[in-house]
Structure 1
C-alpha cells in the first residue's frame, strides 16, 4: 500500500475501530470523523466493495478525496487518498459562497453549516465560540485607506491561522470580525485561556503603509451548552460578551454573563444618545489637581469629562469614550473639550489664577485629523490663552500608530507653545528613543506602578529608574494614582517632581477646584510664616 494512503477499519455499525498514523493526522475532531462515517455509510452499498469520491472541510479548507471500500471478515476496510486535481465549477461555486475572498477563510455561511451539524449530534460534548474584533480598525481604513486595511487584515489572518489548532475552526465573519469555533472543550476555563492567548497574540506592532502601528483586539466568549443550545443564541451571546469587553476598554476578553445583556443594551443606547449629547453640549468638565512635590501647591490639573445623561446621571469617560472613538464622534467632542478648557482658563484669569496649566487627553484619531492643528490655533486665537498653559497628553500607544505623522504634529504643537506629556508611561510598547526624538516635556508614571510601590520591589525599581531617566533628559516627571503618604515619601526620595491622585484630591468641578487651589495657597502661606 502506498505511503500516502490513509487506512480506516470500521465495524458493521460503522464505528471506527482503527486507523493508520496518516489517517489519524489528517482526520481529526469529532465533527470531521462523524462526517466521514456518514459518507462511508451512504456509500457502503450493502456490504459490497465500492469506489467513490468525497469532499470534507479540513483545517479551514475543502479537501477532495478518492476512496476504496472493501468488506471483509465482518469489517469495512477503507483506503483513502487525497486528490491533487483542479477544482470543478461546482467546487468554485461552493468556495465563492462559503469562503471569504480576501483571506480565503471560511465565512459566516460555512460557520452556520458546520456548527449546526455539530450541535445536531446532541452529544455530551462541550464547545465554544470566540468572537474577536480588532480595536480601532476603522481608524486604519479612514486614515490610511481600505487597501492598507486589507493588508492589515491579511497579516492578522496569518497570525491566527498559525495559532489555531486542528480542533479549532477559524472564520472571518465580516470586516475586522473573526470567529473561532472550538469543539470538544473540557470546561469553560479552556475557552478563557484561549481568549487570553488570542489577546496576547494580536497585541503587537504591524507595518502599515511603511509605518508601524500597535494593534489590539477585544474578545467575547460563549459556551455550549451553558450559554445556549442553538447557533444563533450562542453567537449572539459571544457578541454581547464582545461588546461588554469593548465597553470596558480595549485589549481584553470577557466570557458571557446574563447581566451583560442589560449593559450591552445600555452601550448601544449610549451610542445613539452620544451624538445628541454632543449637539446639545450635555457635558461638564472636571479637574483633578496636580501638585508640586516640594510644597503641595497646585500647579495645574488634568481635564476629565463627565456626561450629564438625562436618565443615567453623570457618566464617566471610561463608559463612552470608546463609543466616541469608534463612531468618529471623538472629533467634535474633543474640539468641545479644548474650547471649553480654554474658556475656563479665561475665567480663572479674571480671578488672578494666571499660572495654572491644564492637560487634555488626546487620541490618535484626534491627532491624525487633518484640521486638528488649525482647530487648536483657532481656539487659542478666540480665547487669547497663552499656549504654554495648555498641555496635551498622549499615550505610548498613540506614538506607535504613525511615527512620522505624530512627530510632525507634536513638533507643530511645540512650535505653537503647547506642552506635550506622555500619559500612562511604561504600559505601552514604544521605544525609549521617542523620548529623544520628540519634544516631550512631561512623563506621567502610570498608576499601576505606583499602587504597590510600598511593597513591590520591582515596581519600586521601575519607578526609580524612570524618574532618573526623565531627570537626566530634562523631562518633568509626575506620578499619577498617588493615594497615601507612604507613596508620597518614597516618590519624593526618588526625586519625583509632581503628584496626582486621590491622596490630594479626586476630580472636582470648576468651583471646587478653585477653592482647593486657594486653600492650598493659604496653607502654604501660613506654613511659610511659621517657618
Structure 2
C-alpha cells in the first residue's frame, strides 16, 4: 500500500452535466504502521478550473480577432510541432499603409478590417494555424513543407483578397515573407527573424508582394548590423565628411552647392551611400549624423559667404525621419544660431515621399523655415507622385527635376515634353528649376532652350571635397 497522500482531479458525469472534482486520498495507518484503510474527500472545483481555462485562453488569444496571439503562436509551435521535429511552412505578413487607413477612417474602422481579414485568412488557410501577433501583423503556420508552387498559390490568394475586389478592404495590400524549415533545426525565434527579413524585403521592393526567405537576406542583415555598429564610431574616428556638388546657371555662373555625405572607410567603399543612409534612418543614428551634416554644411556656408558679394546657397538633404521630429524646426534654428550663418545662404532639400509622411504638419514646418529665409527645394521631382498640386501647397523656392528625366531626353520625345512641362509650370508659379544629372553638351543645349534656371551634374562638376571647392570652384 502507498502510505503517502494522493491528490487527483477527475471529471464526473452528473444529471446536471459534468463536474470537475479534486479527490484527496489519505491512508489510515494503525499503531504498527500498517495501512488499514483510506480516507477519501472530494471537492467541487468546476468553477475554479473553468476560470483557469478562461484565463489560459485569454493569455493565448488576441482579444480583437479571436485568433491566437504571439504567446499562442509560441505555444502551438512548441507544444505541437517541436516534439515531432516537424517540417513547417510559415507566412509572415502585415498590411501595407494600415496606419494611413486608421488615420483616415478611424480606429474602429481599422479594427473591423482586422477582424474581417482574420476571418478570411482562416477561410483561405483551412489547414493552417492563423495568428495575429500584433498591430496589423499576421502569421500562418502549416505543418509540412510546401513546395514553392503551392506556397506561391497560397500567397497570391491572400494578395488577391486585398486587391480591391472586396470593397471593404479599401484597396489595402499586404507584404508577405515565406519561410520553410524544420523545428528540429530552427527555433520559433529564428523563424520569426527569417520571416521578418523576407517580409521587409517585400516592402523594400514596392509592397503588395511576397518574398521567399534565402540566406542572402541573412548576409544582408549581418552586413547592415556591421555597418550600423561601425557608423556609431565613425564620428569619433573622424571618418565622415561632406562633399559638395556645385549648381550653376546655364552659362556656368556658380549659384549653389549641395552637401553630400561621404564615409571614408575602405571596408564599405563599394556600399552605395544611399544604402548607408537607409541604415541610419532605421536606427537612431540619423539624429546624431543628421545634425553633424546640417551643422557642417551651415558652417561651410558661413565661411564661404564671408565678404562674398554674390552669395552661394549651401543645401542639405532632409530625410522623413528628421522632419517628423517634433523639434525639427527648433533644431535647425539652433544650428543657425550656433554657426552664425545667414539663413538666406542655406537651403534644405526634401522629396515628395518625405512630405507625404504627414503632409499637413510638414508643410507648416517648411513654411516656418522659409519665412526666416531658408531656401526650400523639392528634390527628385518626377519620381514620386509628381502631383503639381504640391507646387501650389508647399512654400517652395525651387524644384529639382530628377536625373532620370534628364537622361531620358536624348532618346525620348516624351521625356523632353515632360521636362518642358515641369519647367513651364514651375516658372508660372515663380519657382526656379534645377536640372540634375546633366552630363552632356546635348543635355545642356536642350535645357538652355527650355529655359531651365540651374544645372547640376558631371558636365560641370562632380561632388568635391570642401578644400577643392575653396581652392578651385569658389575662385
Query: What TM-score does the superposition give when structure 1 sets the normalisation length?
Result: 0.62
Q: Please, which of 87, 111, 133 is the counterpart of residue 173 of structure 1?
A: 133
Contact 2:316 2:349 in 1 (8 A): yes
Unaligned 5+ segments in structure 1 are 1-87, 208-214, 522-531
Q: Deviations over 1:459-498 (max 9, x none)?
A: 3433332222111111111222334344333333333222
Distance 2:387 2:116 in 1: 23
**1:492 counterpart = 2:455:** no
Question: Which residue matches 2:70?
Answer: 108
Deviation at 1:296, TM superposition (A): 3.1
In structure 1, the partner of 2:319 is: 363
Query: Matches of residues 28-427 of structure 1 in structure 2 within 5 Å?
Result: 92-93=54-55, 95-101=57-63, 104-111=66-73, 113=76, 129-132=91-94, 154=111, 157=114, 166-168=123-125, 171-174=131-134, 177-179=137-139, 186=149, 219=175, 221-224=177-180, 232=188, 234-242=191-199, 255-278=212-235, 282-292=239-249, 294-309=250-265, 311-312=267-268, 316-349=272-305, 352=308, 355-427=311-383
CA distance in 2, matches of 1:98, 1:299: 63
Instruction: Specify whether residues 401 and 192 from structure 1 end up closer, same or farther in structure 2 by C-alpha distance, changes over 3 A only.
Output: same
Q: Tell me how far 1:152 sits from its aligned partner.
A: 10
SS in 2 for 1:186: helix
Q: CA deviation at 1:101?
A: 3.6
- Superposed CA deviations along residues 392-447 of structure 1, whole A, max 9, x for unmatched, are 11121232233332222112111210011111223334753332233211111223
Aligned residues: 410
Deviation at 1:98, TM superposition (A): 3.5
**Residue number in structure 2 paired with 1:510:** 466
Quick one: distance in 2 between partners of 1:447 and 1:155? 44
Larger radius of gyration, structure 1 or 2? 2
> CA offset at residue 383 of structure 1?
2.7
TM-score normalised to the size of structure 2?
0.68
Q: Secondary structure at the match of 1:327?
A: coil
Measured against aligned partners, the alpha-carbon deviations of 1:46-91 in whole angstroms (never above 9, x if no partner) come to: xxxxxxxxxxxxxxxxxxxxxxxxxxxxxxxxxxxxxxxxxx8688
C-alpha distance in 1 between matches for 2:277 and 2:221 = 15
CA distance in 2, matches of 1:136, 1:361: 28
Deviation per CA, 1:292-318: give whole Å up to 9, x if none.
2x2133321221112334854586542
- Contact 1:136-1:325 at 8 Å conserved across structures: no
Please give the root-mean-square deviation of Cα atoms over the aligned residues, in Å: 4.8
Partner of 1:473: 429
- 2:96/2:208 contact within 8 Å kept: no
Instruction: Give the deviation of 1:238 after TM superposition.
Output: 2.9
Counterpart for residue 404 of structure 2: 448
* Residue of structure 2 equivalent to 1:14: none
1:340 Cα deviation after fit: 0.6
**Equivalent-residue separation in structure 2 for 1:199 and 1:422 (angstroms):** 33
Q: Is the 8 A contact 1:241 1:256 kept in 2?
A: yes
